[in-house]
Amino acid sequence: MKHLFYTFLLVCVCQTAISQTVEEILVENNKKTRTSFIRKISSVRKGITLDSTQLDEDVRRLKQLPGIAHAYYKVNRTTSGNVEVVFGVEENFTIIPSANFYTTNDDEFAYRLGLYEFNALGRNIIVGGYFQRDIFNSFGLGLRAPYLFSRKLGISVFYQDLTTLEPVFLDQGAADYRYNNTGIEVLGLYEPSLRHRISAGVNFFAEDYSYLEGATDPDVPQGLNVDKVLFKGIYEYNKVDFYYYLLNGFKNELNLQYVISSDQVLPDFFIWRNDFIYYKRVGEKGNWANRLRIGLATNSDSPFAPFAVDNNLNIRGVGNTIDRGTGSIVLNTEFRYTLFEKKWFVLQGNAFIDSGSWRNPGGDLSDFGDNQNLRVYPGLGVRFIHKFIFNTVFRIDYGYGITKDATRGFVFGIGQYF
């Protein structure tokens, strides 16, 4: 009888807890991020029944925001017998410079400098731009507001005028072209749930190729100016949990693009790329990070193939756009270890291996196994991290190639490599 009584009492308590109504939603410790914005993106609402699963998801969403370093919640009982939910946040400083520098043993040097606000208007709107010097000058300006219209719907707009020196690989040898890409991109952003994000839109741009020096081919023009339209769709599944700078879990991003060209010298093509990223915390100080990137494009036998082998994109130490292909498979793996941590500052050591292979333009899938296309670059690096300034990870990596005709070099940047 006593057991039945306790069981009945437990059921009553649980039923009372389950039926608790949210009377108020409060936010504490937010100085820049607006309380109204946090309430807007939260799934918990006044007047609904308290649900701990929703609270956990809301905290995860807050931790993913650029403006938030850490988040938590508390539930307090009110005098009326209902509950108030209190979201607590630790905010990041969000006006952040960006910088990327990269060199090789050929004394190449390029850099990109930028300034971004990641929490504009206290609503986690990202706005900013960059200036790049890679032999030629380039710049870009962008705005990204993922929650502009609702807690699920937003927009992204980006304009760039990008000019680089691009090697073009011909049968007779390599040629250097001045490449310019000027265009504007508009994407709609949709977040159906915490883990899922969809982006879709269009990019109107013009490409200009101007021959500078090197080999020539009568079938390859020395000057091209082509208007293009790019349709883009991106789907991301993100199950990464954050504890300040330490990450655990995985995410997958699928990027689909279809490009329509006004000149068949640079014909229409379809391109897809998939990034699978996996993070694993190892003990209190270790973080193992992995990225598998696979991409294929329409296999045109063109020297202007879309996938590049590049220092700042995929293989640290390899050089600035040293090869091109119509397909790529790249695996980056690295182990990050906290060497020193004191309040806001963290020093990480990093050991990595970047490896990849490419399909030649017009080639076969067997090209991925060709030694001429394989690149393997192990290396070491350090990270200087500020825990309360968003994405403030200053990285220095040195990659040393161990495959045929390899180079070596430093890669500097802000933010983890992946």
pLDDT for res 387: 87
Cβ neighbour number for residue 365 with a 10 Å cutoff: 10
pLDDT for res 17: 44
pLDDT for res 177: 92
Low-confidence residues of the chain: pLDDT under 70: 1-19, 102-108
Q: 392-403 in b/e burial notation, b at 16+ Cβ within 10 A?
A: bbebebbbbbee
Give the residues across from 99 on adjacent strands: 113
Prediction pTM value: 0.80
Quote the CA–CA distance of 27 and 122 in Å, as a whole number: 14
Give which of 292, 225, 228 is closest to 258, Cα–Cα: 228
* DSSP per residue, 19-33: T-BEEEEEEES-SSS
pLDDT for res 192: 94
- Angle made by CA atoms 191, 22, 38, in degrees to the nearest 5: 40
The answer to whether 259 touches 267, Cβ cutoff 8 Å, is: no
Span 128-171, pLDDT tens digits: 999 998 889 999 999 999 999 999 999 999 999 999 888 887 87
The answer to whether 398 touches 381, Cβ cutoff 8 Å, is: yes
Cβ neighbour number for residue 263 with a 10 Å cutoff: 13
What structural domains does the chain harbor? 2-91 (3.10.20.310), 95-414 (2.40.160.50)
pLDDT for res 174: 83
Torsion of CA 269, 320, 254, 381, to 10 degrees: 170
Quote the CA–CA distance of 66 and 414 in Å, as a whole number: 15
Query: Regarding beta strands 83-91 and 22-28, do their DSSP bridges make them parallel or antiparallel, or are they unpaired?
Result: parallel
